[in-house]
Amino acid sequence: MKRAFLAGLVLIAVAGAALGAEVWGRYVNARYGYGIDLPPGFSEIKEAGNGDGGTSRSADGKADLAVWGSNLLFDGLAADVQDRIESDVNDEWDVSYQRVNNKAASWSGERDGRIFYARAVLLCHDDEAGYFRIEY
C-alpha cells in the first residue's frame, strides 16, 4: 500500500512537471531530410519557396533563427563553411569562434551588440549539408 502511494506521488510529480514544461516545436525539411527542434516561443518555420529551409522568430522579436539545406558543389563542407565565415567577416561580423572539419562546423560572432551562432553538418549524402543560424 505504501509503495502504491509513493508511486502515485511520483506519477503526480512527473505529470505536473510535464504539464509545466514549455512545448518545443519541430521542423522537418522534406527536400534535404533534416529536422530541428524549435525552442518554446519561436514561430513555426516559414519555409522558402524552393523548399530548402526557412526562418523563425522569437515571440519578443529579438531573436531570428534560420535553417537551410545546401548542395556542396565543389570542395566539400569545410570549404563551403570557410566561404560563409569570410562572408560574415565581410559583413563586419567579429567572428570570434570557429571550429571546422569535413563533417561539421560551428562559428559565432558579434556585431553592434548582436550575437550569432551558426552550425553546419554533413547530411546523409556527402554532397549535402544542413545549416542552422540564430541571431540575437
* Length of the chain as a residue count: 136
Listing DSSP states for 66-125 in one string gives: EEEEEE--SS-HHHHHHHHHHHHHHTT-EEEEEEE-SSEEEEEEEETTEEEEEEEEE-SS
Average pLDDT value for the chain: 87
pLDDT at 19 over 70: no
Average pLDDT score over residue span 110-125: 96
Residue 5 confidence (pLDDT): 35
Cα–Cα nearest to 38, from 52, 55, 24, 48: 24
In the three-class reduction of DSSP (H, G, I as helix; E, B as strand; rest coil), residue 60 is classed as: coil
Tell me the three cell numbers of residue 58.
522569437
pLDDT tens profile 26-81: 999 999 999 999 999 999 999 999 999 999 999 999 999 999 999 998 889 999 99
pLDDT tens profile 106-116: 999 999 999 99
Residue 75 confidence (pLDDT): 86
Q: Considering all CA atoms of the chain, what is the largest pairwise distance in Å, rounded to the nearest integer?
A: 69
Average pLDDT score over residue span 115-127: 94
pLDDT at 20 over 90: no
